[in-house]
Structure 1
Amino acid sequence: MKILTLTALVLVTSFATASAAMAQDVAAGETSFHKCLPCHSIGDGAKNKVGPELNGLDGRHSGSAPNYSYSDANKNSGITWNKEQFLEYIKGPQAKIPGTKMAFAGIKNEKEANDLWAYISQFDKDGKKK
């Protein structure tokens, strides 16, 4: 019985530690967003640039930011942005949506990509933090 209890305790501790290690860091995501700033904006007063503004990205259909000229590939991708879609996309935009105009090598580091999503997804469609 003691071994079973000890094993359960070790497993719970391991899962808790792993979860903490993968916790998203909004401040680190904001720093990572500096890579995006040449082409994208977010927050109050965000405007389309070379790429679309990213307010309200979580739940938004790909190719639907107002007044932005998307590639047909992006408009027709059928993607509704969420964490899973974003994490796959940000690794290699051209691989996820062949023909997209987004010329970016991608973010391969899983923690950085999760932090970036934490930062981006906190903004609603009006640029206010949720």
Structure 2
Amino acid sequence: MRVAAFLTAISIVTLSAGHSLAQDAAAGETVFNKCKACHVADEDKNKIGPSLKGVIGRTAGTLEGFKFSPAMVEAGKGGLVWDDAKLTEYLKAPKAMVKGTKMAFAGLKKDEDLANIIAYLKQFP
């Protein structure tokens, strides 16, 4: 009986923790407002930063028509491909992940914001 109660409690905690990190593209669009000065997500248009349209699955430093920092190009040559985990790590602390990146943004600190902005970016393959 105690084992069943324990497993039920663990299941509830696990489900609620997973739910709190559920991706919400609409909320991600709001978070993306912090990025709009330098990036576009819904079209192939570079600004100060590269277009983020189709960023999921892209090798870092490889978008044609954008001049990336040597550090970002090297990261791509080293195998960095943007997926959920790598974008989360990068957007949390860009300069810590790719030392020498031109991106001046300090990073997003909330896990919920990170999950939501990735959901938003996924809308634009």
TM-score (norm 2): 0.92
* RMSD value, Cα: 1.1
What's the secondary structure of 1:76's corresponding residue? Answer: helix
Matches within 5 A, 1:1-130: 2-43=1-42, 45-77=43-75, 78=78, 79-124=80-125
Quote how far apart the aligned CAs of 1:67 are. Answer: 0.4
1:71-130 deviations in Å (ceiling 9; x for gaps): 111111131001111111111211111111111111111111111111112321xxxxxx
State how many pairs are aligned.
Answer: 122
Q: Within 2, Cα distance between the matches of 1:95 and 1:57?
A: 20
Query: Runs of 5+ in structure 1 lacking a partner?
Result: 125-130
Quote how far apart the aligned CAs of 1:14 are. Answer: 1.4
TM-score (norm 1): 0.88
- Which amino acid counterpart does residue 26 of structure 2 have in structure 1? A
- Which amino acid counterpart does residue 119 of structure 2 have in structure 1? A
Query: Runs of 5+ in structure 2 lacking a partner?
Result: none
**Aligned sequence identity (%):** 38
Quote how far apart the aligned CAs of 1:33 are. Answer: 0.3
